[in-house]
Structures are given as structure tokens and as C-alpha cells.
Structure 1
Amino acid sequence: MDSSSKSDAIAFEFPPYLRIYKDGRAERAQEVEFIPPSTTTRTGVSSKDVVIEPETGLSARFYLPKVKDRQFKLPLLIYFHGGGFCTESAFSPLYHPYVESLVAEAKVVAISVNYRRAPEQPVPMCYEDSWISLKWVASQSKKEAWLKDYVDFTRVFIAGDSAGANIAHNIAVRTGCSALKGLKINGLVLIHPHFAGVEPFKSEVGNFGVKIAGKLWRAVCPLTTGLDDPFVNPDKDPNFSRLGCKRVLVCIAEKDIFRDRGQFYCENLRKSGWDGMVECMEAEGENHVFHLYSPTCQKARELMKCVVSFINTSE
């Protein structure tokens, strides 16, 4: 085999989004479209972009709902987008409308983190970017206008879907293990979380999609110990019970390849010694992140209502 054919050897494909070659190169079919921040007439929600770390380009999008009475401050939602750790962004046509709708429905201020993606920045970089973003929010509580003027920092929620839910969980654990001042994490929302394990569980046995997800994890996290890596298998994390909040909502979908792992997460969290309450909501007949692609369908509206209720329920 000549050198040119060696350089063209494919290590992993995630069609139609990404191809990773054995020499480390990454080839993207297309870059995700950028939706600019705005003030939307339909929802009354305003958005703006901020740079969190100029040296790396780490950034985020802020969302502010239409506020009638500035005397009453609002909860803060910190959101992590999905996309297999390697696609999508906080500014994409898939995530901008969703977070904007969530802000309008829940009446929260939100910050959607645009962490750097694999394979150019391999996992665990997404966790580091997300942690830096959390610390930045705490440091800006009396500086950034939308935080200072509108946010109640005793009511902070962390949320995400798919790989973003995985990140949200890991950030919540890190919060519980660290002395992070200035933020009280009230709750964690995990929508169709991307978790795995070496031993197939229930519907994972013989599931082709689960096998592909396992290969994806190894591709985006080259230094991983495997599918029992605590980053992707919370049950193997010795700090699982130190989750830094008292309330957790896990949303699963009946036809999702990650469905049983989400349910397993709930069961293990209850048995871990963690001192909190976990709720599980299932969307029957639906697949992975269906709510992003069909946001107006009945099940998506039910999912939105469940998340909004969780955020707006006092501890």
C-alpha cells in the first residue's frame, strides 16, 4: 500500500456528517449553518452572542425572555447542545429555535454553550469548555448585564440533549465535587442522554445503532478506556452519588437506542446514595431527539411542558 492510500484510510464514518481518517484528519460534509442572534417577534425572546474565552474562541448564546416586571428575577438555564460530540452548534437551525422556545415557555434566562467539537478538539475538551463556561457565568453574575439585572442565582438549571445531556451530567458531578462559588444548581435536565456500557443492557443486545454509537465514542475520545469510561457510563463513576443538585429529570423516548441506558441511569442514581429526587418521563413511540425535528407534534409539546414544569417547580 503506498503512502497516499494509507493517508486515505478511514478510521470512522458518521454519515452524512463526518469522516475521520486514520492519520487524524477530519472531513466534514458541510459546516452547520449559523443562525444570527435576534429579537423574535413571535416569542419576544432576545438573543446575543458572547465570547467566553478569546484565546480558544469558546463562545455561547444568551437568551432573554420578554420581561414585564424587572423586579422579579428569573431562573437561569445553562444548555449543552447534542450532536455526538462532533456535530451541531449552539447557533444552528436545530438548536437556536429550540432553546428560544424553551426560554419563552419557561420564562428563564438561558445560555447555550458552544463548546469545541471533536475530532478537531477530542473529548474530554467539551467537558473542559463546559466547565470553563459554568465558571464564567459565576464570575459574570455582577458584570454581564443580562445576568446581573435578570437572574436569580439561587435558581440555576443545567440541561442538554443526547451528547449534551452527557455533558450536563458530567458537569453536574463536577459541580458536586468542587467548591464553585456564586451558583446554586437546583436541577439537572437530561433529554435522551448519550450513555453507554461494555455489557449490553436490555434492548442494546445486538442493536446495530448501539454498536455505531460505541464506535463513535471511541472515535471522538481516542484516549478513552472504553465504554465503561466514567464519562460515558455514570454507573462506573465513583463520584456518581456526588451529583451537585437535588433534583433530576430524565426524558427518554421509546424507540431511542439510548432509552434503556436512560432508565438505567435513573435506577442507579436512586441506589447510589445520592440525596435527591429523580423523575423519568417517556415519550411513547418516539425516537432520539424527535422534539428537535418535529417541535410542534403532540409528544414534543408534552416534553416541553414537562421540562418547563420541572424548571418552574420550587425545590
Structure 2
Amino acid sequence: MSIVAEAPGYIQVFSDGSVNRFAPEIAHASTKSSVKYKSKDIIIDASKPVTARMFLPDIPASLDQLPVLVYFHGGGFCIGSTTWLGYHIFLGDLSVASQSIILSIDYRLAPENKLPIAYDDCYSSLDWLSRNVNSEPWLEKADLSRVFLSGDSAGGNIAHQVAVKAIQNKAFPVTLRGLLLIHPYFGSQRRTELELADGSAGDVAMNDMFWRLSLPEGSNRDYYGCNFEKAELSTAEWHRFPDVVVYLAGLDFLKEKGVMYAEFLQKKNVKEVKLVEAEGETHVYHVFHPESEATRLLQMQMSEFIDSL
């Protein structure tokens, strides 16, 4: 049995189809509000399974309702979890900074579960939200007219796809106000300038490997889930697309695609599209350094975007 795909320290895929994942340090949920927020794990769909971690900030008595932010973790669709320590700290602190309820989704991973399974799993979390708003105590002050989607890397990709699916559903039960995409992970068959540049071979090979593991059999990088230009929305549907902010990292190999995504939305006349860049920072720095000055700034910027809508 040989290794056919590997991201050292994160995942190994073997010739018989088995997968070995290496989890970094994880955090356990706690309903004790010792750091200005509390957290708990919930089941979205036991049959798949899809789970989530919910973060609830200490709520001032003066606040009647809180926005809800649904977050999708990154990891090339193949690794990652809301239980990872970096995600737990980042999202817990973000719930406090933004005074929002955060629902962080653990969707099924590729290559065992290829796309579009991750999209379907994450979309189902919004159905769970609408069904449980009157029965889940932590959603007592949830304002489903102010729901935001966010995620980093592959999770940013998922946030876009969930928004597309929601726009296509005229009976969608919540109101999406905005998308906050952090270093989103997109691709296409046509190579970008950065992908063709000297010194990019290693990054290109790693990206291609994750796409190969996650795309449906017989698909290439022009699959709609990879190439955002393949989205099938009408002009009227694009006009209903929520406001979008794309966060970039100056040293991120995926920065170019993030800029192209924003330009694509602007051409589709999406109401509001913003780009915010963290100069000198690397891909998903907020996960690896959740208490850094750059991460605190990102949390403040995200909070301001949420407050503005």
C-alpha cells in the first residue's frame, strides 16, 4: 500500500483509498463563560453526520437581538475542523468582538466525500438554523434577518456556493446580509500569472492535489465549485446577491484569485464588494496565530462590516 497524495503533517491518502489525517491541537467546547463567551457542540444532521460548534458571547441586557454568523473552516475540502484550537480561539473572540452568535460547521471531508457534498452539508446548516431558532436556547436572541456567511480558504469557497444556492431558493428561510470571505480558495483550468511565475511550482502542485482529491470524478478545475465564473445565476439573482468583503493576505499564493473573484462580482453588479488586504501576512494567518495583532485587526474589520449591515 503506497501513499498517492500527501500534505505533510496534515493528510496522507493511500492507494487503497484509506486516509490518514493528523489533527493539530484541539479545543473542547465549554458552556462556562470564563473568557466572555461560551461554546457547545451540536448535531446538525446525525445521519451524515454534520455537526457544529456554537459560540455565544456574554450578552449585555441592552441587546435585544444578535446577528448570526455561519462559519465554514478551510483545509482544501480535505482537512480541518471547528475543534482545531486556532479556529476555536478565533471564532470565540470574534463572537465577542462582533457581538454575534457564531455557528461553525464541521462538514464531511474529501476524498471520502467529494464535492458537492461539502456544499450540501453546509447549506443544511442554514435549514437547521431556521428550524431551531425557537427551540434552541442559545438562539433566543438570534436575528435571522441578519445572517452572515464566512469562511477561510476552502471555507470561503463554500460560503460563496452556499450563498448562490440560497439565492436560487426563493423560499429560503433566512436573510443573508453579507459574505465575509477570508483568503478564498478558487481555481480554473486556465493558469493565473502567479501560478505560472518562477518559484510557484510547489504551491501549484499542492493546490492541484487538493482539487484532485475533492472534485467529482470526471471533473476538472472548471467545475462550478472550483471556477466561480461557472455560477449559473440570472441578472436578477446577481442583483439579490448579498454584500461581500474579501480579505486578502499580502503573502498569500491565493491572493490573485481573491482579487479576480471580487472583480467578477463587480462585473455582475453585486451591490457592494470590498477588498481588504493584510500586508505581510500569509494564508490563514488567523488560524495559526489567533491572538496576533493582525488577527485582532481582522476581527475588528469583520465586526465593522457586520455592524454596517
- Shifted more, 96-105 versus 243-252: the winner is 243-252
SS, match of residue 94 in structure 1: helix
TM-score (normalised: structure 1):
0.90
Q: Is the contact between residue 160 and residue 179 of structure 2 (CA under 8 Å) also seen in structure 1? A: yes
The answer to whether structure 1 residue 48 and structure 2 residue 44 are counterparts is no
The answer to whether structure 1 residue 313 and structure 2 residue 301 are counterparts is no
Q: Is the contact between residue 86 and residue 289 of structure 2 (CA under 8 Å) also seen in structure 1? A: no
Could you tell me the percent identity over the aligned residues?
33
Distance 1:11 1:239 in 2: 37
What are the superposed Cα offsets for residues 98-123 of structure 1, whole Å, 9 maximum, x if unpaired?
A: 11010010000111011111122222
Alignment match, 1:271: 267
Q: 1:198 aligns with which of 189, 210, 215?
A: 189
Residues 249-264 of structure 1 aligned to structure 2 (within 5 Å): 249-264=245-260
Q: 2:227 aligns with which of 223, 233, 237?
A: 233
Q: Is the contact between residue 95 and residue 102 of structure 2 (CA under 8 Å) also seen in structure 1? A: yes
Distance 1:70 1:59 in 2: 31
**Structure 1 residue 214: Cα displacement:** 1.6
Distance 2:43 2:294 in 1: 35
| RMSD (CA atoms) | 1.9
> Counterpart of 1:92 in structure 2: which amino acid?
W
Distance 1:309 1:71, change over 3 A: closer
Distance 1:54 1:141, change over 3 A: same
**Structure 1 residue 286: Cα displacement:** 1.2
The answer to whether structure 1 residue 152 and structure 2 residue 143 are counterparts is yes
Alignment match, 2:99: 107
Distance 2:102 2:176 in 1: 14
Distance 1:71 1:222, change over 3 A: closer
Count residues in correspondence: 304
- Shifted more, 240-249 versus 104-113: the winner is 240-249
Distance 1:281 1:31 in 2: 30
Distance 1:110 1:32 in 2: 22
Alignment match, 1:26: 19
Q: 1:91 aligns with which of 76, 83, 86?
A: 83
**Structure 1 residue 71: Cα displacement:** 5.4
Q: Is the contact between residue 57 and residue 96 of structure 2 (CA under 8 Å) also seen in structure 1? A: yes
**Structure 1 residue 283: Cα displacement:** 0.9
Distance 1:94 1:224 in 2: 35
**Structure 1 residue 75: Cα displacement:** 0.3
Q: 1:292 aligns with which of 274, 287, 296?
A: 287
What are structure 2's unaligned runs of at least 5 residues? none
Q: Which has the higher contact order (CA 8 A, sep 6+)?
A: 2
The answer to whether structure 1 residue 248 and structure 2 residue 239 are counterparts is no
Distance 1:190 1:162 in 2: 8
Distance 1:273 1:56 in 2: 37
TM-score (normalised: structure 2):
0.92
Distance 1:194 1:265, change over 3 A: same
The answer to whether structure 1 residue 76 and structure 2 residue 68 are counterparts is yes
Distance 1:300 1:70 in 2: 28
Distance 1:173 1:229 in 2: 15
What are structure 1's unaligned runs of at least 5 residues? 1-7
Distance 2:20 2:234 in 1: 36
**Structure 1 residue 88: Cα displacement:** 1.6
Q: Is the contact between residue 55 and residue 92 of structure 2 (CA under 8 Å) also seen in structure 1? A: yes
The answer to whether structure 1 residue 12 and structure 2 residue 5 are counterparts is yes
**Structure 1 residue 285: Cα displacement:** 1.2
Distance 1:35 1:233, change over 3 A: same
SS, match of residue 108 in structure 2: coil
Alignment match, 2:129: 137
- Shifted more, 79-88 versus 294-303: the winner is 294-303
**Structure 1 residue 272: Cα displacement:** 1.9
**Structure 1 residue 259: Cα displacement:** 0.2
Q: Is the contact between residue 86 and residue 290 of structure 2 (CA under 8 Å) also seen in structure 1? A: no
- Shifted more, 100-109 versus 62-71: the winner is 62-71
- Shifted more, 154-163 versus 300-309: the winner is 300-309
Distance 1:224 1:133 in 2: 28
Distance 1:138 1:199 in 2: 39
- Shifted more, 305-314 versus 32-41: the winner is 32-41
Distance 1:235 1:105, change over 3 A: same
